Amino acid sequence: MGNRISKTVAAISESPTLAMDARAKALKAEGENVIGFGAGEPDFPTPQYIVEAAARASNVPTYHRYTPAAGLPDLRSAIAAKTKRDSGFDVPADHVLVTNGGKHALFNTFLTLLDPGDEVIIPAPYWVSYPEMVRIAGGRPVGVTTTEETGFRATIEQLDAAVTERTKVVVFVSPSNPTGAVYPPNEVREIGRWALSRGLWVVTDEIYEHLVYGDARFSSIVVEVPELADRAIVINGVAKTYAMTGWRVGWMIGPRDVIAGATSLQSHSTSNVANVAQAAALAAVSGGLEEADRMREAFDRRRRTIHKLLNEIPEVTCIEPEGAFYAFPSFKGLLGRDIAGSRVESTDELAEVILDKARVAIVPGEGFGAPGYARLSYALSDEDLLEGVNRIGDLLSG
Ligand code: PLP
């Protein structure tokens, strides 16, 4: 008798961000006043013109049907045009595959690129899904630890030390989830040139391209190093820019052979993304960025507040996040101490105590490959943000 569950699936760990979010929501459902810093999604509704486009489409019978597996032709063209507008990367529409969110674009990408045992370099702290997806695709994730000293940005020396003859891909994420780090253009260029010289593929996750603050500037690795285009996959989507996490529309952009392979794969798994959701995404990417700018201003204000407040808590330090909507403070100074009557040895335990005693949900760093840290999303209302960090501060200083 074999195992009931395959080894591949049994080896997957539950997403800690979703797990923490689920616990916080369950407590809320029981009537508890919980403040959640866990979710990775904007707290704004989707802009009205996008919702209206979807409502109109839902009344048209053609939108009740399948589309080509790779997506509505108009949407693929609009994504190509939007990419040229926003990052300067110029690609034809048949280099675009519309997927069920950025997550699905990454999943398709790893399954399309990796053979068993191929290694994928992933700078840590990393978004939790990358290593799991690489494993599911038969590859081997190789973490490269970055620290506050370099602003959580990987250096060429660190990346180069991780290369073996099995290395095929390097994952590049800027702005970063969970650290909020943004690589300046010269570092993006250096990493791109290094990947090119090493003959590696680059998977560049640009989902937070519009969420950069202060002097930080987003730049696309395939624009900084155009020769990389034949060995690079750009991941993006509407979720974070247009507050559309629930609509599930993302895309991958890559060379024609990879997109053709990934399209075949998708044609046997999910087929096309929901047709009405594609109509919504078409309105989003064809429209302006005014609403995105408005949301970014709110995130920027909250970013400055959370950065200041976290650093005021004794033994907590937090570098200034420059992008996305996450702060990634260190709680190392508190480990090994008694907090509210419990001895706390890890950020996993600390997050439990903070949820139990202060009714605040944060995501411990262990799942991001960064024990001693935690991720706090600042995509929540200004009032909740203030109240939540104050509760943590009171608990930890009490
Ligand atoms: N990439 C990064 C870095 C993310 O943080 C997320 C979402 O949290 C995604 C990709 C996937 O976004 P979605 O699948 O909602 O489009």
Residue 333 pLDDT > 70, yes or no? yes
Contact (Cβ atoms closer than 8 angstroms) between residue 361 and residue 24: yes
Distance from C-alpha of 296 to C-alpha of 375, rounded to nearest angstrom: 19
CA-wise closest residue to 328 among 146, 182, 125: 125
Residue 392 identity (one-letter amino acid): I
Q: Side-chain half-sphere of 250: how many Cα atoms within 13 Å?
A: 25
Given CA atoms 329, 335, 339, 343 in this order, what sign does their dihedral have?
positive
Q: From the CA of 168, how far away is ligand 1's center (Å)?
A: 22
Distance from C-alpha of 398 to C-alpha of 396, rounded to nearest angstrom: 6
In the predicted model, what is the mean pLDDT of residues 305-327? 97
Q: What pLDDT, in 10s, does the model give residues 362-396?
A: 999 998 999 999 999 999 999 999 999 999 999 99
The model's pTM = 0.96
Substitution candidate for ligand 1 out of 107, 110, 127, 172 with most atoms within 8 A of CB: 127
In the predicted model, what is the mean pLDDT of residues 107-125? 98
CA-wise closest residue to 234 among 123, 136, 105: 105
DSSP string, 29-58: HTT---EE----S-SSPPPHHHHHHHHHHH
Residue 226 identity (one-letter amino acid): P
CA-wise closest residue to 243 among 177, 289, 275: 289
Query: 3-class DSSP state for residue 123?
Result: strand
Q: How confident is the model at residue 24 (pLDDT cuts 50, 70, 90)?
A: confident
In the predicted model, what is the mean pLDDT of residues 85-102? 98
Ligand 1 pocket, CB under 6 A: 40, 101-103, 127, 173, 177, 205, 207, 237, 239, 245, 250
Cα 330 to chain center, whole Å? 20
Which is more confident, 38 or 77? 77
Q: From the CA of 300, how far away is ligand 1's center (Å)?
A: 20
Contact (Cβ atoms closer than 8 angstroms) between residue 365 and residue 371: yes
Q: What pLDDT, in 10s, does the model give residues 261-307?
A: 999 999 999 999 999 999 999 999 999 999 999 999 999 999 999 99
Contact (Cβ atoms closer than 8 angstroms) between residue 268 and residue 65: no
Instruction: Indicate the pairing of strand 374-377 with strand 96-99.
Output: unpaired
Residue 285 identity (one-letter amino acid): V
Q: From the CA of 250, how far away is ligand 1's center (Å)?
A: 9
Q: From the CA of 205, how far away is ligand 1's center (Å)?
A: 8
Q: How confident is the model at residue 22 (pLDDT cuts 50, 70, 90)?
A: confident
Helix axes of 382-397 and 290-312: crossing angle, nearest 10 degrees = 20
Distance from C-alpha of 362 to C-alpha of 35, rounded to nearest angstrom: 9
Substitution candidate for ligand 1 out of 98, 99, 177 with most atoms within 8 A of CB: 177
What is residue 2's predicted lDDT score, i.e. its pLDDT? 78
Q: What pLDDT, in 10s, does the model give residues 195-253?
A: 999 999 999 999 999 999 999 999 999 999 999 999 999 999 999 999 999 999 999 99
- The token pair at 225 is 């190093």
For the chain, what is the radius of gyration of the CA atoms? 21
